[in-house]
Structure 1
Amino acid sequence: MLRNIDPILSPELLKTLRAMGHGDEIVIADANFPASSLGPACIRADGSSASEMLRAVLQVMPLDRYVADPALTMQVVDATEDVPAAVADFNTIIQEVADNPVPTQSLERFAFYDRAATAYAVVQTGETRLYGNIILKKGVIG
């Protein structure tokens, strides 16, 4: 065990977060997300919600300050202005925990999948709320 590190951050995930460089992206995905078929490494975290995972990741990983959209969520199909409960929760967590608290931006569903396919890794959580997916761009520690 390590002090001050959330125990839901598995050794595999901690290694992944540490290996990522500035500008690399990681996806925190819900249980419905096609994580294993997209291409990036898939790290399973079935016992955690996406919100719990986001909070834990943001406690150790900086968000990129040099882009306008370091946190991206998936738009609701046919209701792009809607803010799902999971996304509202993500915004609150980012404001509370992130070193660079910014509002999330959103991408159309298939654009989100395309972006996720180029990510460094995908963390597949047990999140059951719809649209519980977020892409984070890693920043630097100044």
Structure 2
Amino acid sequence: MLHNIPAILPPEALFYMAQMGHGDMLVIGDSNFPAQSMGQRVIRCEGSNASQILDAVVTLFPLDTFVEDRAVTMQVVGAPDTIPPAVAEFQAIIDAKGDNPAPIVSVERFAFYDRARAAFAIIQTGEPRPYGNIILTKGIIV
């Protein structure tokens, strides 16, 4: 048993997060995200939503300070300036709990998928809200 580890994160997620290095990316995907076809390391957390997982992850995971796009979401198709409710909630979590908060950057859908394919791991959640996906870039622990 470990102290101060969010119980919502399964051991597999902790294992992969600990293996990640500076600049590696972690995807937190919603229930519709094509996780299995995107990456080799998929952690299933269907009993949790993306905000719950993000909240737990940012307590353990330093965000990269060397890149502007340390947190990236998918733009709404046909309305790229729209901020979905899930993304607004993600920003509030990062602002409140992230050690290196920054504005979330949004990218076009297929650009998001390209980044997701390059990610170290994907956490598939049961998030029902559309556009409830985020990619985090891991920073360094000082």
The TM-score range, normalised by the shorter chain, is: over 0.9
* Structure 1 counterpart of 2:97: 97
Q: State the SS of the aligned residue for 2:94.
A: helix
* Structure 1 counterpart of 2:82: 82
* Structure 1 counterpart of 2:125: 125
Deviation at 1:5, TM superposition (A): 1.1
CA contact (8 A) 1:40 1:118 kept: no
1:29-44 matched pairs, under 5 angstroms? 29-44=29-44
TM-score (norm 1): 0.98
* Structure 2 counterpart of 1:4: 4
Q: Which amino acid aligns with 2:64?
A: D
After superposing on structure 2, the runs of 4+ consecutive aligned residues of structure 1 that deviate more than 3 Å are: none
Question: Gapped runs of 5+ residues in structure 1?
Answer: none
Q: Distance in 2 between matches of 1:77 and 1:125?
A: 21
Q: Distance in 2 between matches of 1:32 and 1:96?
A: 27
- Count of residue pairs brought into register by the alignment: 142
* Structure 2 counterpart of 1:114: 114
CA contact (8 A) 1:40 1:119 kept: no
User: Does structure 1 residue 48 correspond to structure 2 residue 53?
Assistant: no
RMSD after superposition: 0.7
Q: State the SS of the aligned residue for 1:28.
A: strand
Q: Identity across aligned pairs (percent)?
A: 57
Deviation at 1:38, TM superposition (A): 1.2
CA contact (8 A) 2:39 2:122 kept: no
User: Does structure 1 residue 140 correspond to structure 2 residue 135?
Assistant: no
Q: Which amino acid aligns with 1:122?
A: I
TM-score (norm 2): 0.98
Give per-residue Cα distances to partners, 1:103-141, cap 9 Å, x unaligned: 100010011001100000110000000000000000001
Deviation at 1:41, TM superposition (A): 1.0
